[in-house]
Amino acid sequence: MSPEEPSVQDNYLSSQLTTQHYSTRKKTVDLAQFGLKKRTQTEISVGAQWKRAEKDAAKTEKLEASSAKIQRQKTGIERLKKLEAEKLREYTEDEWFSHGQDTATYEDAGPHESDPLSDSEESQPEGSQGGKDDDDEQSQSQQGSKGKQREKAKPLQLTAAEKRRVRAQELRESIAANNSRTPTPQLRRESSTKMKAKMMTGLLPDWHAKLQAGGPATNKLPAPQVNVPTSQGLIPTWKSRLQDPSTPFPTGFNGRTVNSKPRALQCSRAAKDSDNDVISRKGVVANPALTRQKQSVVDPDKSISTDVLPAWIKPFFWSEVMPTLRDIYGGLSDPWDLNQADSDFFLHALQRATDAACPDQHYEATKGDPVYRVAHQQMYEWQRDFMKATLKAVQEGVLEQCGKEASPGDIKQYVTATFAPDGEAYNGTPEGKIFAQAHLAGIQGSCCKDTVYPVGALALSMAAVQLSFCTFAQGKFVPGPGFSKVTAGILTLGYTSGSSFSQLLVKKSRFDGVVEAALAYVHVLKVHKKGNGLGLQPVQLMVYSSPPGSPTAK
């Protein structure tokens, strides 16, 4: 068709419209007739005003919801405080009775004088022997000035029970102090980040803290360090066991996780606005049973399918890159925030993971490239895995305990009892199982042999267990609010930043013990179907999981 020749469409339009070239200012055409009427400024301002009012109303509503949430949190913290104190009291009494009038006294002498509370557990063999280990230093630094005060106030010789009482008193004080730093709804990302930094100081450095500690402060974002320590001695015992199950369990492990937990702050998603929005904006009621259309062909430049991965990374993507990323994020205090407060954290983490897995490829990660997109998406899948595994476990548990014919009342009773502060839900088994399935099984092959503990992953497990029990709170399964930054973000931070985890992190053996218990549930390697289908060679895994620069890293 030549350019001069009018098309059929043109002919049709010219026959329909008397004036082809119209202007919005010289209204020679009744634009309304064609649905093209331009609105007057008055109309626009009326519309804008109306929209502003709507926005303000929504804002007010949001603020009200927010303050209500804070109030609920305060109540939760109060309850937690009581629980903590109660648990400690019980624990102290138990210890007292179990030791009877055993007058085990502690000779505080020399360098230990400043820390009269170093309890008997510390003297047990703990992997790294020889004087004071890291844990001692941590607890010492935490208790620092208070310890000195006590030196004056207390006699040098204390019984075990007395020491525990003092410690309990300290914990209560610390909880009271922490109360003012209660994680609040993430109104501002900044504040939560600062809070995280504060909370983690003195316990264990998380990845972000490590990155920031990389050098002098600059405006440039620090490159993440996927630390590959040269000394195996630095690797916590649990990680050694993950790589070699024959590694003996540490002594002094009781297989229980923390008992004190922040309460789930909201069991139901705060009326996700999207549903309402659909109604208010489009004026139609969203079809509750939307049928999904067949998958369409997606632009490879936008696809998050693993098919778009470059060939060179496919053999290592599931076996090393993803395990490394999961490992990194599992060690963060906020595993939900992939970019850790607006930095390019994910980009750097991906860069390091790929460098470690494929050192010869010299891949340069960029935002939005196929590897970035797919890995990014898979991190969300990792987060969801915690909830999926938990829901399944809880459903199985309910079925097992209540039977198929159970009435809603029976289920409700079981769930209430299990979910109670001292219920079975918190005996260390459920979250350990989830933690193992959703995380430990998924980090095998990780190139990150860092000493950071998987606090984030454990917190996700805890949060998932809590939210899962909510799904049976009515005596029957009611799909929950989902598992996301919105529904579980605060709860997760409540763990990693709260007192229950700091209790765990005070001593290496405690967290090691938690992970050791979970390792019992890692029966099989998590092998990705596609990854496996690509003919992954074990020998390649051995070669590429070696530290870069080591003799085997070629």
- Residues found near DNA in the complex (CB under 7 A): 24-25, 38, 40-41, 44-45, 47-48, 51, 269, 272-274, 277-278, 286, 289-296, 298, 303-307, 336, 338-339, 367-368, 374, 376-377, 380-381, 383-385, 388, 392, 481-487, 526, 528-530
CB of 109 or CB of 289, closer to DNA: 289
CB of 8 or CB of 290, closer to DNA: 290
Give min distance, CB of 529 to DNA, in A.
4
159 bridge partner residues: 105
CB of 228 or CB of 374, closer to DNA: 374
Residue 402: Cβ within 10 Å count: 19
List of long-range contacts for 240-244, beta carbons under 8 Å, 24+ apart: 241/516, 241/519, 242/440, 242/443, 242/444, 242/519, 242/522
381 bridge partner residues: none
CB of 346 or CB of 426, closer to DNA: 346
DSSP readout, 227-295?
---S-GGGS-HHHHHHH-TTSPPPTT---------PPPS-SS-S--HHHHHHHHHHSSPPPSSPPPPPP
Are 535 and 263 in contact by the 8 Å Cβ rule? The answer is no
Residues in contact with 94: Cβ distance below 8 Å, sequence separation at least 6, in sequence order: none
CB of 325 or CB of 514, closer to DNA: 325
- The pair of structure tokens assigned to 427 is 């005996």
Give min distance, CB of 237 to DNA, in A.
27
CB of 40 or CB of 246, closer to DNA: 40
Are 170 and 146 in contact by the 8 Å Cβ rule? The answer is yes
Residue 240: Cβ within 10 Å count: 18
Residue 132: Cβ within 10 Å count: 15
CA angle 488, 492, 495 (to 5 degrees): 150
CB of 88 or CB of 441, closer to DNA: 441
**Maximum CA pair distance of the chain?**
108
Q: How far apart are CA 442 and CA 457, in angstroms?
A: 11
Give min distance, CB of 137 to DNA, in A.
36
Give min distance, CB of 215 to DNA, in A.
25
CB of 117 or CB of 264, closer to DNA: 264
Give min distance, CB of 304 to DNA, in A.
5
Q: How far apart are CA 123 and CA 132, in angstroms?
A: 9
CA 27 to chain centroid? 59
Are 264 and 415 in contact by the 8 Å Cβ rule? The answer is no
Give min distance, CB of 376 to DNA, in A.
6
DSSP 8-class letter at 31:
G
Give min distance, CB of 8 to DNA, in A.
26
Give min distance, CB of 205 to DNA, in A.
23
What are the residue ranges of helices labelled H in 420-454?
Answer: 429-434
Give min distance, CB of 318 to DNA, in A.
7
CB of 406 or CB of 534, closer to DNA: 534
Q: How far apart are CA 333 and CA 197, in angstroms?
A: 9
Are 338 and 314 in contact by the 8 Å Cβ rule? The answer is no
Surface-to-core class of residue 265, CB atoms within 10 Å of its CB (0-12 exposed, 13-18 middle, 19+ buried): buried
CB of 46 or CB of 176, closer to DNA: 46
CB of 263 or CB of 433, closer to DNA: 433
Give min distance, CB of 141 to DNA, in A.
34
Give min distance, CB of 30 to DNA, in A.
15
CB of 367 or CB of 554, closer to DNA: 367
Residue 18 parent element (H or E): none
CA 458 to chain centroid? 8
Give min distance, CB of 268 to DNA, in A.
11
CB of 254 or CB of 293, closer to DNA: 293
DSSP readout, 66-107?
HHHHHHHHHHHHHHHHHHHHHHHHHHHHHHHHHHTT---B--
